[in-house]
Every structure is written in C-alpha cells, then in structure tokens.
Amino acid sequence: MLRVTSRDNSFLKALAGQANSPAPIWLMRQAGRYLPEYREVRSKVASFLDLCRTPELAAEVTLQPLRRFDLDAAIVFSDILIVPYALGQRVEFVEGEGPKLEPVRDARSVAGLSRSGATEVLAPVYETIERVTAALPKALPLIGFCGAPWTVATYMVEGGGSKEQAAARLFAYRERATFQRLIDLLVETSADYLVNQVKAGARALQIFDSWAGSLPEDEFERWCIVPTKRLVELVKARLPEIPIIGFPRGAGVLAERYARETDIDAIGCDTSMPVGWMRRLQEHLPVQGNLDPLLLVAGGEALHTRVGAILETLGQQPFIFNLGHGILPETPIEHVTRLVNLVKKS
Amino acid sequence: MLRVTSRDNSFLKALAGQANSPAPIWLMRQAGRYLPEYREVRSKVASFLDLCRTPELAAEVTLQPLRRFDLDAAIVFSDILIVPYALGQRVEFVEGEGPKLEPVRDARSVAGLSRSGATEVLAPVYETIERVTAALPKALPLIGFCGAPWTVATYMVEGGGSKEQAAARLFAYRERATFQRLIDLLVETSADYLVNQVKAGARALQIFDSWAGSLPEDEFERWCIVPTKRLVELVKARLPEIPIIGFPRGAGVLAERYARETDIDAIGCDTSMPVGWMRRLQEHLPVQGNLDPLLLVAGGEALHTRVGAILETLGQQPFIFNLGHGILPETPIEHVTRLVNLVKKS
C-alpha cells in the first residue's frame, strides 16, 4: 500500500511546518451523530463501545465524512475511554447519559488495573486503522489518537464526566503517589497504543486533553505537561518522524508553556483562545483550531465573518483549520459543506 | 453610623491601589454550607430564595464567618439570580439540583420581563445590607454584588446551570438583537441594584461573571467586556468613588483585555490563572485570588506551599487573597482557620 508523504497532503505539510493555501481542514468528531449515515450504522449495534470495537463498522463511519466533504484528513473512529477498558476497568456508554465507569478511588483499585489484556482489547482499533488506510485515497492521511493521561484519569476516578473534575483533582491532592501510579500506567499504555496505531497505518497522532483547563498551574505542570512530555518522548523514541498534535483544551494562558515544554509538533486550540494569541504560538509551532462548534450550528453571516478572521490571522503560517471542540450532533450538514468550501476557496 | 474609610481596612486599601502586609483576605461564598451555624439557619426556611429574602436571617449568615475567622470583608448573603426573579422570571432553587428558571427563549419572553416590580423584590437585600453594616465592627466593610449580564443571561436562557452555556450562546448567535435587549435590560437593572446596595451600606462591589470563559473572543467582547464596561459606567456616574471588582471566571488569555477595557478597579482571578500572569495584571490594577477551593478541602503541606507561593508572587503589590472560586460545602472549618492564619502571619 502506498503511504502518503508530507509532499502530497496539506495537513501533513502544515504539521511539518509549512504554510498552505488553502489551509488544510478536518473537524474534531467529524464522524458522528450529525450524519444520517452514521446514525444508520450506529443503530446496527447495541452500544457505542460495540461500534468502536467492530472494525468493519468503525472503518465505515471513519470514512463517511470524507465522502461528503473535501477534508484533508480522516481520524479513526474510537473513544478515549477504550484505554481504561483495556486496563480492565468496567466502562459503559449509557445512551443519553454519557460514559459510566466503575470508579477508581484508592490504591487497591489502581493496583487492580492491568495491561495484560490491553493488546487484545485494543486490537479492533488497529484493524479499523488497517481497513481505513486501505480504503482511503492515498493523498488522505489517517489520524490516530488517545486521551491525555490526565483527562483519561479524570473519567477513571470520577466514574464518568463531571463538573470541574473535582473527584480526580481531590484524589490527586490527597493521594499524590497513588494518582502518580495511575498517570504513569496511562502514559505507558497510551504510548504503546499510539505506536501501534501508527504501525497499523496512522500518519499523525492527536492527544486529547479535554480537561486540561481544570488544573491550577502547578497541578497543570504535574498532571498535564510532564505526563504529556513523557508520552511524546516514548512515542518518538520508537517513531521519531511521527507528527503529534497536542490539544490541551481550556489551558488558557498555560497553553504557551504546554507548547514549549511537551515536545508536541502542533497545538490544537480551543474556542476560547484568541486568534491573536494563536498567532503568537505559531511563532513556535503549527497551530490548529478553533471555530466555535456552536457557530457552525448557527451558520449565517457570523460564521462567514469568523472563518475569514481566523484564516486571515493564521493562514500565512503553518495552520490547520478545525473546530475548537467536537462537532455537535445538531449541526446542519449544509453548514459543514459551506465551511469546507469557505476554507478551500480562501 | 460610622463609615469605614480606606485608611482603616486593608481590603479597601488594596482596592485603592496600596500593597498591604499582611494581605487582606475574604473568601467567595464565605457564608455557606461548610458552616454548621449556616446549615442551622438554612433549616429554618423552606427554600434558599426565602433565606436570601429574609433580612434577619440573611444578615445573620452574612455575619457568621466574620465571627469565626479574621477576615477583612463581609459579602452580603444573596444570589445572582435574584435579578431575573426581580424581572418577573420564575426562579426556584431545587435542593440538590441547583436553580431552575422558566427559560427565556424568544423575543416575546424577553419583552415579558419588566423592571416595574424590581425595587420591591430587591428591597430585602437592601435591608440585609443595612442590618449587616449596623452590626459589623466599623473597620470591616461589606461587599455588595451582582452577576454579570452575560452570566445571569445564561441562566435565564438555559433555565438553570448548564454545560458550556450552549443554549445561551446559540441564542446569542441566532437572535443578536433579542439577546442584546436582554443584556441591556440586565445592565440597567444591575446598575440600579448595585447603586442601591451601596446606598444601603456596601463599601465595595463585585461583578461575578462565572461563565465568561465559555465565550470566544468576539463574543467575549460583545457580551462580557462591553456590558460590564457599561454597567461600571452607570454605577460610577452616580458613585464615582465606589471600588468595583470584576471576576471574569475562565477568561484565560482574555482577562488582560477585560482588565484594560472595562474600567473595573480590581480583577478577581480564577484558579486556572498562573500567579505570574496575575503579577503581570497587577501592573495595571489590584488583583484578587486565586487559591484552588479543592486544595482548601484537601489541606496538608500542598496548601501551605501554595499559599506561600501566591503571597510571595503577589504580596508586594496591591493584592487581595481569595479563592479562585467559591468555598466548597465539604471544606473542613479548621482548614479555613489555618488558611487565614497563614495569610495573617505572612
């Protein structure tokens, strides 16, 4: 199978430090509920996790948005909570309620987690990646991903999503050593997981730190920067060429330290980051982002104006157009078409 | 009744631009559920809103933390949602679920809001302030407050608290003119409300913009900076000397613009703001914050270290010690005592 080189694709060119006109575009959660063909496939399986773990179907939904829109990358359809599942934690996705996990709350439950079954649990993801890369036009790279150790740990400790990640933050304050063991386990497991995704065909990686924003600076350093840096090091030790995007959602002022200190190749910026500040980060590394997903739902003249402002400020340097957060289920498909056209015509 | 001047009190001195040793301290939600004497008073009334609207009891709970801790200011016990209630919106506080409002979702429901009954609904707050100022030692000032127009509007549109304030943000994108009318109404009502709190005895004001962080930069300018600036102008036109603290929670990088453009006298910083960045803001105006309330729950050596780091970086310039968010119900009282002692001994 032919592999895409950075010469062929503006997304990979941007990650390699080149400016592109037009800018490349992909959308976080571009495979998802806003597409009727996704909902059709989803209805065939009992649970969301079953969909992630059925390579034929996961590959199909990964490819769906590429058939509709002129996007510059695919991203494997999976979920960041597949890693705790692979470590032996009970994970369920309850329809309309989000994920439910058996909470990890003490040293004993951390000690009960094990990487021994991880390869088997994660194998369907690798098979999905193989299927997608076989089916994709050769100019289109596939992105592999994982959750950042901190963000995955918040779900593991809270037992699901939460307001301000209070249980995980309190656990981290009270039981530093135990929480550190959990983070270390996630770093090691995630490194193997990312490396295997690349071996299966992924050409770039993204680390989603969705809850980075709930950490004060010293905790941000300890649980976001240091583990991410270690994770990147472990991956790069085995795959020096693979580009890695970090997405420290909500990091605010601390995004600059994250960009400088973690050895990532590009930084994803959330909706709250001013484009002038993204421009400043661009002096150091390529940036990705950051249209408000709600503006893509709303559409209208405001969408047009905002897309223009983002491209005007960031398009002259290495830049990847994206949303500042995942695409929302209620997004009208014609707004996505319009967005991609706006970016491609720029 | 003797009024406190800024000469007598380190909190007012800090707001007037002076450094103080030791730094003044008060805590957001210092009157609240972590105190058994608060829970005792709360049990006497059917609802939280009843407590806010019963001056004798509201004054009592306002004074409770001052009896236990060596704090440098009181803050009137009330709630930011008293303003929508005063505008005729149905507001309930459901135990364990937070506030529930009849959502404002279209031009007709915005048009149905009216300031005609506001004075009567808000009168108990003014009476609470009169009672508290009469009872307080003269060196202790009382802070009045309101929610910022954006934050109050999010509750009015969502019908309660919400994840990422999606309904309000979408409403603002889709129906700019209607949302602008709602914001304008909140600016005017809040200005009168703040002025009347000062007339009743409040010696400083705080504007809580708890959901400022969910706005992208252009929306942040439109719904946070501009209305706050207008609110501050309206208050200062009538009370040029009153110090006003703005608290744009989650504003991140945009806190600097907020500090420069709203004409506030001091800025409250949330937990995510690095102290080095607060130090930078201190070149422009006094800063307040920003200990993690969860660290106050956890206690231990980490609390000691963090308090020291905050004081060391910020204590040489005008600074008010506070939390980065409200004190949590599960906070051990002895940790609060320890915190206040740490600050006072510094």
- Per-residue pLDDT tens for B76-110? 999 999 999 999 999 999 888 889 999 998 999 99
Which A-chain residues 201-240 have CB contacts (< 8 A) with chain B? 213-220
Burial A181-207 (b: 16+ CB within 10 A, else e): ebbebbbbbbbbbbbbbbebbbbbbbb
pLDDT per residue as tens digits for the range A67-80: 999 999 999 999 99
Cβ-Cβ contacts under 8 Å for B240 (sequence gap 6 or more): none
Give the chain B residue whose CA is nearest to the CA of A270.
Answer: B216
**Hey, where are the domains in chain B?**
10-345
- In this complex, do B253 and A274 lie within 8 Å of one another by their Cβ atoms? yes
Rounded to two decimals, what is the model's pTM? 0.96
Catalytic residue annotation of A: 29, 33, 42, 79, 155
The C-alpha of A57 sits at a distance from chain B's nearest C-alpha, in angstroms, of 30
Q: What is the percent of chain A with per-residue pLDDT over 70, rounded to a whole number?
A: 98
Which residues in chain B have their CB less than 8 angstroms from residue A250's CB?
213, 250, 252, 272
Question: What is the structure's pLDDT at A2?
Answer: 41
- In this complex, do A213 and B250 lie within 8 Å of one another by their Cβ atoms? yes
Binned at pLDDT 50, 70 and 90, residue A236 comes out as very high
Q: Decide: helix, strand or coil at residue B235.
A: helix
pLDDT at A238 over 70: yes
Q: Considering CB atoms only, which of A173, A290, A298 is closest to B170?
A: A298
Which of B291, B277, B241, B284 is CA-nearest to residue B262?
Answer: B284
Question: What is the structure's pLDDT at B7?
Answer: 66
pLDDT at A269 over 70: yes
Question: Which helix or strand (DSSP H or E) is residue A266 part of?
Answer: strand A266-268
Question: What is the structure's pLDDT at A335?
Answer: 98
pLDDT at B2 over 80: no
- In this complex, do B173 and A298 lie within 8 Å of one another by their Cβ atoms? yes
A293 inside 8 A of chain B by CB? no
The C-alpha of A268 sits at a distance from chain B's nearest C-alpha, in angstroms, of 15
Reply yes or no on whether B33 is catalytic. Answer: yes
Cα–Cα distance measured from residue A231 to residue A225, given in angstroms and rounded to the nearest whole number: 10
Cα–Cα distance measured from residue A67 to residue A71, given in angstroms and rounded to the nearest whole number: 9
A269 inside 8 A of chain B by CB? no
Cα–Cα distance measured from residue A181 to residue A186, given in angstroms and rounded to the nearest whole number: 9
Counting DSSP H helices and E strands in chain B, the numbers are 17, 9
Cα–Cα distance measured from residue B270 to residue B325, given in angstroms and rounded to the nearest whole number: 6
Which string of DSSP letters, residue by residue, matches A24-62? PB--TT-SSTTSHHHHHHHTTSSSHHHHHT-HHHHHHHH
- In this complex, do A297 and B170 lie within 8 Å of one another by their Cβ atoms? yes
Question: What is the structure's pLDDT at A3?
Answer: 46
Binned at pLDDT 50, 70 and 90, residue A95 comes out as confident
Which of A345, A267, A268, A265 is CA-nearest to residue A308?
Answer: A345
Which residues in chain A have their CB less than 8 angstroms from residue B272's CB?
213-217, 220, 250, 252-254
Reply yes or no on whether B67 is catalytic. Answer: no
Contact present, A339 and A303 (Cβ < 8 Å): yes
- In this complex, do B272 and A252 lie within 8 Å of one another by their Cβ atoms? yes
Q: Decide: helix, strand or coil at residue B141.
A: coil
Beta pairing class for A244-248 and A266-268 = parallel
Contact present, B255 and B248 (Cβ < 8 Å): yes
pLDDT per residue as tens digits for the range B10-44: 999 999 999 999 999 999 999 999 999 999 999 99
Question: What is the structure's pLDDT at B1?
Answer: 37
Cα–Cα distance measured from residue B234 to residue B251, given in angstroms and rounded to the nearest whole number: 23
Q: What is the percent of chain B with per-residue pLDDT over 70, rounded to a whole number?
A: 98
What's chain B's average pLDDT? Answer: 96
Question: What is the structure's pLDDT at B346?
Answer: 82
* Sheet strands (E) in chain B: 74-75, 91-94, 98-101, 142-147, 204-209, 244-248, 266-268, 287-291, 319-323
pLDDT per residue as tens digits for the range A3-48: 455 568 999 999 999 999 999 999 999 999 999 999 999 999 999 9
The C-alpha of A108 sits at a distance from chain B's nearest C-alpha, in angstroms, of 20
ipTM of the complex: 0.93
pLDDT per residue as tens digits for the range A255-266: 999 999 999 999
Question: What is the structure's pLDDT at B163?
Answer: 82
Binned at pLDDT 50, 70 and 90, residue B6 comes out as low
Binned at pLDDT 50, 70 and 90, residue A223 comes out as very high
Domain B10-345 sits in CATH at 3.20.20.210
Which string of DSSP letters, residue by residue, matches B292-325? -HHHHHH-HHHHHHHHHHHHHHHTTSSEEEEESS
Least confident of A78-87, A96-105, A309-318: A96-105
Q: Considering CB atoms only, which of A214, A217, A309 is closest to B274?
A: A217
